[in-house]
């Protein structure tokens, strides 16, 4: 990849402090709303929706995990177009491995998508009449569990194909030539050098 040149901005709006404070303020506002949403799901879901209540709770739980992992726990600062960046969240202050933080965010978004899918599959199973419904009734829960298991297994090959972080940091800084000083000092984490993998 050739080097990209631009004029770095020293504006507060381009600083990591602005990103961190902004997403943490958004999280501070959204977290009470998520808790309120939990109470509404628990207390106000009508009896006619009891068959889908647990699926809605499951979806809401994963949305909360995803929202808090992005806005509080990790706060990723991406260095695009390279597949790299660094974290500004609470977990980085406790020395948590960057790969674990990437897995946390990707697993949370994956489980949000799977939870959405499970709601639609549940509603389809209850509302629609179709010939293989008895067979599908027996295999739909193991089928859904397989999706969640596969979502975790998916990260195993990624763990073994991570590039050497020191070498890739130099390549990233050569590619992004005019970045601010705080990027040079940051612990840059590169997920992959091969864009075809993503």
Instruction: Report phi then psi at 186, rounded to 5.
Output: -75, 160
pLDDT in tens, 80-99: 788 888 888 899 999 898 88
- pLDDT at position 41 is 92
Q: CA–CA separation, 68 vs 75, rounded Å?
A: 9
Q: Compute the distance between CA of residue 89 and CA of residue 75 in angstroms, rounded to an integer.
A: 5
- Number of helices (H) and strands (E), helices first, in the chain? 8, 3
Per the model's pLDDT, the better-predicted residue between 157 and 114 turns out to be 114
pLDDT recorded at residue 94: 93
According to the model, what pLDDT value does residue 110 have?
Answer: 93
Phi, psi of 141 (to 5 degrees): -70, -45
Quick: pLDDT tens for 118-167.
999 888 888 888 888 888 888 888 988 999 999 889 888 888 888 888 88
Query: Long-range contacts made by residues 138-143, C-beta under 8 angstroms, separation at least 24?
Result: none
d(CA 55, CA 66): 17
The pTM of this model reads 0.83
Q: Residue 63 and residue 109: Cα distance in Å, rounded?
A: 8
Strand partners, 84: 79, 190
Query: Per-residue pLDDT averaged across 24-33, rounded?
Result: 93
For residue range 175-195, list pLDDT tens digits in order. Answer: 877 777 777 777 888 887 776
Q: What is the pLDDT of residues 43-78, one digit of tens each?
A: 998 998 888 899 999 999 999 999 999 999 999 888
The whole-number pLDDT of residue 3 equals 53
């Amino acid at each position: 990849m050739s080097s990209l040149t631009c004029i770095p901005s020293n504006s507060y709006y381009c600083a990591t402090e602005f990103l961190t404070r902004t997403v943490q303020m958004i999280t501070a506002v959204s977290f009470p709303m998520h808790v309120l949403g939990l109470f509404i799901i628990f207390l106000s879901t009508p009896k006619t929706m009891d068959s889908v209540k647990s699926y809605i709770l499951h979806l809401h739980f994963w949305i909360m995990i995803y929202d808090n992992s992005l806005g509080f726990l990790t706060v990723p600062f991406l260095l695009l177009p390279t597949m790299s960046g660094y974290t500004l969240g609470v977990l980085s202050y406790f020395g948590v491995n960057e790969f674990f933080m990437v897995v946390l965010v990707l697993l949370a978004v994956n489980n949000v998508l799977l939870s959405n899918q499970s709601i639609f599959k549940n509603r389809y199973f209850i509302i629609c009449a179709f010939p293989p419904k008895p067979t599908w009734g027996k295999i739909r829960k193991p089928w859904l569990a397989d999706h969640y298991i596969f979502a975790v297994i998916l990260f195993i090959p990624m763990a073994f194909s991570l590039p050497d972080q020191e070498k890739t940091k130099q390549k990233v800084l050569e590619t992004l030539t005019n970045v601010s000083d705080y990027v040079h000092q940051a612990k840059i984490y590169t997920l992959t050098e091969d864009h075809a993998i993503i």
